[in-house]
Structure 1
């Protein structure tokens, strides 16, 4: 007598109805789809350099099976995960491995965020306090005695270089120029992020320059907070959820007006599009597809013939492009690289897509610093041997890591595009 075929869906329903299974919680993540191929472990940048990290398969889907039965199976070594998402990009079954690990950290870790963790995650607070005294703060952060104090007292590695703070914020600059934006028939909203506001307003100015040149005025969101990635990474989940809801309320107002919300940070983009829903359990389905990187938006306009651009004949530069991990997850590197390749005077040098190792606040922490540098070493060697004038990347923390570790200047693709544009010629081409 032949054995009847088992329908996988029916088998899953039967297993869930088992009283032994019902005693455990049901995961919100899709760990059951894992086929145990271990390709995620092959692509993990942490596993080769840190023997304490169990690897994405064991930390993610395998560990989830145990944690759902008994929370004490949680392993604090999950803190070594970068949340780079490379395991998810590699997974043939689309298991959200990084989300499983991050959710486990938030739900099961018994370690409370330290003062250091809170400081590193409070980007809006620290930025607001630092910018009025930027020259003093920047000078202090570069002093060796201050680095030693931060190392010994706070656990911030003494070798880590801090990004400089600007003496004026991007929002204060924009307020003076906001009236000019209303004259454009087309409009977009801009989520500038903490880095642009407190550390490098020039990127925000370059974004406005590009958008104005192709006939778009720029609006800022009614209220904007940090995207929340640093708070999520440091287990400040309530604060991350509060900031996320504030951002989403403002984003919804812009989308209701018919405006796309553009960003210049791959990490901010991924966090708002995916992490709000997957990690913070906040519904974003109504606005997710209206949040996108500026390079994607601009490229699509040019590609569809809706706008035209002209470039300076004297612009010459050899530029390498580094794909940030979160850009790899978004799958949008093609837009940034295609914009760069449009520039006649730019010699484009592709780099192998590998992690830089900093992972936001991860690489600032003393216990992670050496791992961070080892992870990024392959990238640093590529850049050193490429003989380029500069590197382009869409992630601000990748910029800090590359500049500190190689000495090569790093720009956002939008900034390079703005510098290469012949602004007046572009405006004429677009009837402005």
Structure 2
């Protein structure tokens, strides 16, 4: 190979021992014969792509980036990262209008939020769905999450900000697009729980989307700009003595791991200060720094679904153990299955059927178990499960907010 044209990969593909266990654990290969599989798409394909980009296989577009291959890999090869970086680098053509719209969550949330009741109604109409299917390639079967008429930050500044100054401790909250534009209630629930244990909340001023949608839709330059903005805000919060927490497992995973691995935006100095809210609260309780009191009348049978990125973080135990602390909760841990939506992936017409087939084992178990509701730390898993089953889905933080005796908890932690 001509040394002048040699490309150097910073991924550890040479550590692959070709055991193919990643392919066994891949949810896509089971349902889609057109996907080469993680070993061939990742470390095997990287060897060829470094010699000649023409070896790039467009079949890599079927990868969910669920990271199950990386969890299974005994050699800790960054298989998913290799695939995503290859897609960004070698895919021909620019992202489509559909992909750009789905990826720009801040822009779409701001625009749509101004007309939320109208847009929410229109997105449920069959003619509108058929039009988006034919013109944009957004599958007509996909249900959109509702948009909120009021942004979370607007509510926070009006109703909650002044009260936070009275709290003895502080934490910064990366609320993300879902809480900001779709479901402010989750953010309100977090503020309620944190205030009850004596923690005030500050928002990251003018935070941007975590970037996961832009990464998956190959808008890497825009994702890098957002990542740089977010990390600057994180560093400012950490310098002020605060940890940065979030309620979305994917947002937190992206900021901790995808920023350096995919976007090459390095965060070593603050990575350990970015964590999921359930992990933050559980560790406070486990270390004896705070106590929780619960309503005796709260009784629920809850099924917990582990999001793929939550499994990659290795943090499922924090959410499930918090739920187990609630005396009236009967907790069932669902089998480890990808729900199939993978953010914007499941909205696209060409992937929709694969998305549903991937999630089918999970949907069947939920229907068989008939829990009062499902708990999960990922908002897109919530959308997929609620669309594909009869179950309602709540974030563990919202479960805590409903079950906690706010006054008794505050007294326990503020003598």
In the superposition, the TM-score normalised over structure 2's length comes to 0.99
Map of 1:306 onto structure 2: 289
Match of 1:333 among 294, 310, 316: 316
Partner of residue 180 from structure 1, selected from 157, 163, 170: 163
Equivalent residue for 1:110?
Answer: 92
String of CA shifts for 1:172-211, please: whole Å, max 9, x gaps: 0000120100111100000000000000000000000010
**2 CA distance for matches of 1:22 and 1:258?**
48
Q: Tell me the residue number matched to 2:395.
A: 412
Deviation at 1:237, TM superposition (A): 0.6
Structure 2: distance between partners of 1:31 and 1:363? 28
For residues 431 and 352 of structure 1, the distance between their equivalents in structure 2, rounded to whole angstroms, comes to 40
Match of 2:280 in 1: 297
User: Residues 153-189 of structure 1: CA distance to partner in whole angstroms, max 9, x if unpaired?
Assistant: 0000000000000110100000012010011110000
For residues 376-391 of structure 1, what are the structure 2 equivalents within 5 Å?
376-391=359-374
Aligned residue in 1 for 2:350: 367
Say whether residues 1:140 and 2:118 are aligned partners: no
- Residue 135 of structure 1 deviates from its aligned partner by 0.7
Query: Structure 1, unaligned stretches of length 5 or more?
Result: 1-18
**CA positional deviation for 1:223:** 2.3
Match of 2:77 in 1: 95
Structure showing greater radius of gyration is 1
Q: Secondary structure at the match of 2:115?
A: helix
**Structure 2 counterpart of 1:46:** 28
Q: Distance in 2 between matches of 1:117 and 1:284?
A: 28
> How many pairs align?
414
User: What RMSD, in angstroms, separates the aligned Cα atoms of the two structures?
Assistant: 0.9
Distance 2:232 2:280 in 1: 22
In the alignment, which residue of structure 1 is the partner of 2:10?
28
CA displacement at 1:403 relative to structure 2: 0.2
Deviation of the 1:431 alpha carbon: 1.6
1:207-218 mapped onto 2 (5 Å cutoff): 207-218=190-201
- In structure 2, the partner of 1:322 is 305
Q: Distance in 2 between matches of 1:266 and 1:410?
A: 15
Per the normalisation by structure 1, the TM-score is: 0.95
Pairwise mapping of residues 145-224 of structure 1 onto structure 2 (< 5 A)?
145-176=127-158, 177-224=160-207
**Residue 328 (structure 2) aligns with:** 345
- The CA deviation at 1:110 is 1.1
Tell me, in whole angstroms, the C-alpha distance in 2 between the residues paired with 1:109 and 1:380: 33
Take 1:157 and 1:26, find their aligned partners in 2: how far apart are those partners? 39
In the alignment, the residues of structure 1 paired with residue 38 and residue 233 of structure 2 have an alpha-carbon distance, to the nearest angstrom, of: 35
**Is 1:271 the equivalent of 2:229?**
no
Post-superposition shift, 1:21? 6.4
Give 3-state SS (helix, strand or coil) of 1:25's partner: coil
- Give 1:130's aligned residue: 112
Structure 1 position 430 matched with structure 2 position 413: yes
Residue 240 of structure 1 aligns with which residue? Answer: 223
What secondary structure sits across from 1:202 in the alignment?
helix
Superposition map of 1:248-259 within 5 A:
248-259=231-242
Q: In structure 2, which of residues 43, 50, 63 is the aligned counterpart of residue 61 of structure 1?
A: 43
Secondary structure of residue in 2 paired with 1:308: coil
1:219 match: secondary structure: strand
Rounded Cα–Cα distance in structure 1 between residues aligned with 2:6 and 2:17: 22
Deviation at 1:133, TM superposition (A): 1.1
CA distance in 1, matches of 2:246, 2:179: 10
Deviation readout 1:48-71 (Å, 9 max, x if unpaired): 100110000000000000000000
For residues 28 and 368 of structure 2, the distance between their equivalents in structure 1, rounded to whole angstroms, comes to 24
CA distance in 2, matches of 1:147, 1:108: 32
CA–CA distance in structure 1, aligned partners of residues 389 and 81 of structure 2 = 31
Distance 1:20 1:30 in 2: 22
Please report how far the alpha carbon of residue 111 of structure 1 lies from its aligned counterpart in structure 2 after TM superposition: 2.5
- Whole-angstrom CA distance in 1 between matches of 2:15 and 2:3: 17
CA distance in 2: counterparts of 1:289 and 1:82, whole angstroms: 26
CA drift of 1:26 comes to 1.5
